[in-house]
Chains A and B, each alone.
Chain A
Amino acid sequence: MNKFWLVFLHEYKRHVMRKRFVFAILSMPLFVVFIVLVGFLSVWLQIDNKPVGYIDQNQILENPQQVPVEKKSIFSPVPSLPFTDEAAAKTALNAGEIQAYFTFSDNYMSTGEVTMTSNEKPGANAEDDFGDFVSYNLVKGMPEPIIERLIDGSNITVRSLDGSREMGADNWMVILLPMLAGILFIIAVNISGGYLMQAVVEEKENRTMEILVTSVSPTQLMAGKVVGNLLVGLTQLVVWILFLIIGLKVAPLFIPDMGSMPAIDGKYILLIAGTMLPAFVMIAAAMGAIGATATESQEAQQMAGFFTLPIVVPFWFVSQIMFNPNGALSVGLSMFPLTAPISLPLRAGFTNIPWWQTSITITVLVILAIFSLWLSGKIFRIGMLRYGKKVSLKEAFRRS
């Protein structure tokens, strides 16, 4: 068997088979679930399901009915109770039977004016639910499509001139996906690069290097390490994405308002993969090279910060990219290799990127990824047996 595969399998297994890795991989989804639960809890604390009252002296609502409760909703709506006059409502309010009462003004049909009376601030859901109750009863009896439009409002779809792309107002995925992919990318780069850097430094620190290079060629060793550790990062990423998909499938069962998951364009996924994969290889290989030049893992960590910083830069300019996706800054960020993996997909969500820009960016990234692998192999060969003295870039280019 080719020794590349041995190194690759060794590097992959030694991380993935560890308990630490399983914890790391599970901690992220658990963290997200925790955050969501805390979010729910805070909403839960703000709502009050005590009924509200209303006084409808002008008979605006005909034969009022409660809004039907959807089975899968976690929060049931606040019931609205009719009162004949304000005195009766006030008595109920003071007795604590209702949390507030609403009085329709005489010219409600033209102004929509309603007065709310309460002793203390009502729950966050009270007003909304009463609003739903009123709308439901006002449109009741109209044809179904009209009800839907009146209640849900419009759904505008923006289509590009050539019709190749479109974006619906509710297609939040276009914004969410590149952002999410970007965050996952940064995490994955840091994980893989970190593992790789550690793996190289570790062999220098524990002095196994000399045995290794008398068994495997430095090129095979480095290639096996880079690919193995990249796959460790990718494994982590894939598991997280699986959790995300499961989360997105499961969440609407509990939160009906979220709607269903919008479809994702296959081409868009290709664009994300096309920029992020070579960038991933490029940065991870560079981190491996840093590991080979550095003499201690701590030193390597510090040097790695140099690479991770530019990747994050596009997030500072998100609004620029969103509102001016064809401006000089957006184009520049989407073509500069270190900022491209996040800027390009983000830009693609808001504009049609000319094909030549995409091709140049991806080509440059692929070339740089290969160059980075080659250079790190070379630096690795020079630096592998050197302790206490760093390898300078000049040396890396000069020596064989």
Chain B
Amino acid sequence: MSTINVEQISKSFGAQKAVDNVSFDVEPGEIFGLLGPNGAGKTTSIRIILDIFKPDTGKVSILGGQMTEEKKNKIGYLPEERGLYQDLSLDRCLIYLATLKGMDEHEAQKRISEYLEKFDLAASKKKKVKELSKGMQQKAQLITTLVHKPEIVIIDEPFSALDPVNTQMVKDILQEERARGTSIVMCTHQMHQVEALADRIALISQGKTVLYGTLANVRKQFAKEALIVRTSSALPAELPGVSEIEKTNSHNILHLAEGQKPQDILRELLTRDIVVEQFEIALPTLDEIFIEVVKNKGVSE
């Protein structure tokens, strides 16, 4: 059973249609990438899922039904607009927010200490939030999102303001959460992180879903007829079945002529006794797909 089920939701603010007929599902134990350019309608969609906004049309089902106060305790949310109580000490702030998620104070205290230790924040727990650096506040916010062991985690730009060490730690934590069976919805512009983590994605542009599926399928869908080939000796200037050879620093990109199969090219290289070090089908990066889809969408409308 899907933990989040979004069915054709639409929402307008005045004349502007922020979300237009968006649908997707999120399964337990998966990381779902919700992608899209700035202003595409991601935050509005999330706010509708979380029952902050009511959709004009469409339906959201969360953990098998409508949002209730009890279900709010099973959701961890890291909003795009970050914020903690600046004038409180870090531990008091975290404990308050954890108890609001239904934890009893003693349990919250215990688990927050563990997280503070893990995130290297234990020494700062008596400091006021406003005295912490941006990265530290970001980590504190992540603790708030995860401390109550939610069944659904919705995080907006989880890696902003984090250094590579902390980024890796957050990635590890997200993977642990996934292994625990948590549904994770991740919004980010960092496509390489989505590539590394997400199982499935939806790409929203101008309020509409323009791409939806597993990462592999989406990439295959956008695969061009091209090969990445690295050889120990130089390639001949022309090869049968190849319309263009593009040279980069480390490899060659072979654009196939229409109707050609990669196997034919490999066979050709082998018959010519060329030592092949790398031979793979050139799948586009998510970055490229993102740009292509968003640009085309802009042109077509």
Binding site for B on A (CB under 8 A): 1, 3, 6-7, 10, 14, 203, 206-217, 385, 400
Question: How many residues of chain B get a CB closer than 8 Å to chain A's CBs?
Answer: 26
Contact of B83 among A1, A208, A214, A216 (CB under 8 A): A208
Give B residues with C-beta under 8 Å from A. Answer: 47, 50-52, 54, 69, 72-73, 75, 77, 79, 81-88, 96-97, 99-101, 104, 144
Contacts of B86 in A (CB 8 A): 206
A3 touches B100 (CB 8 A): yes
Further 19 A-B residue pairs, CB within 8 A, beyond A3-B69, A203-B83, A214-B75: A1-B104, A6-B96, A10-B96, A14-B85, A206-B84, A206-B86, A207-B81, A207-B82, A208-B84, A209-B83, A210-B81, A211-B97, A212-B100, A213-B52, A215-B72, A215-B73, A216-B69, A385-B47, A385-B52
In the bound complex, residues from chain B placing their C-beta under 8 Å from that of A213 are: 52
Contact partners of B81 in chain A: CB under 8 A = 207, 210
Chain B residues contacting A385 (CB-CB under 8 Å) are 47, 52
Q: How far is the CB of A193 from chain B (nearest CB, A)?
A: 20
Contact of B100 among A14, A206, A215 (CB under 8 A): A215
**Cβ B69 vs Cβ A217 within 8 A:** yes
Most A CB atoms within 10 A — which of B50, B52, B83, B86? B83
Report chain A residues within 8 Å CB of B96.
6, 10
Residue of B nearest to A203 (CB): B83
Contact partner of A214 among B77, B85, B87, B104, CB < 8 A? B77
Inter-chain CA distance A207–B86, complex, in Å, is 10
Residue numbers in B under 8 Å from A212 (CB-CB):
100
Q: Give the chain A neighbours of B100 by CB distance below 8 A.
A: 3, 6-7, 212, 215-216
A215 to chain B, nearest CB (A): 4
Once bound together, how far apart are the Cα atoms of A217 and B97, in whole Å?
A: 14
Determine which of B51, B69, B73, B79 lies in contact with A211 in the assembled complex, contact meaning CB atoms within 8 Å.
B79
**CB-based nearest B residue for A208:** B83
Q: How far is the CB of A232 from chain B (nearest CB, A)?
A: 15
B residues less than 8 Å from A3 (CB atoms): 69, 100
Separation of A206 and B51 alpha carbons in the complex (Å): 21
Tell me the complex Cα distance, A209–B86, Å: 13
| Cross-chain pairs A/B with CB under 8 angstroms, 16 sampled | A3-B100, A6-B99, A14-B87, A206-B84, A206-B85, A207-B81, A208-B84, A209-B83, A210-B83, A211-B77, A211-B79, A211-B83, A214-B52, A215-B97, A215-B101, A217-B69
Question: Taking the nearest CB of chain A, how far is it from the CB of B254, in angstroms?
Answer: 49
Are A214 and B84 in contact, CB atoms less than 8 angstroms apart? no
Query: Which 3 A/B pairs are nearest by Cβ-Cβ distance?
Result: A207-B83, A215-B100, A207-B81
Complex contacts, A203 vs chain B, CB 8 Å: 83
A196: min CB distance to chain B, Å: 16
CB distance from A283 to the nearest CB of B (A): 25
The smallest beta-carbon distance between B222 and chain A, in angstroms, is 34
A10 and B82 alpha carbons, distance in the complex (Å)? 20
Tell me whether A210 and B85 are in contact in the complex, defined as CB-CB below 8 angstroms, given that A6-B96, A217-B69 are known contacts.
no
Contacts of A6 in B (CB 8 A): 96, 99-100
> Is B88 within 8 A of A14, CB to CB?
yes
Separation of A400 and B69 alpha carbons in the complex (Å): 18
A10, B96: Cα distance in complex, Å:
8
Residues of A within 8 A of B85 (CB): 14, 206, 208
| B-chain residues with CB within 8 Å of residue A217 when the two chains form the complex | 69
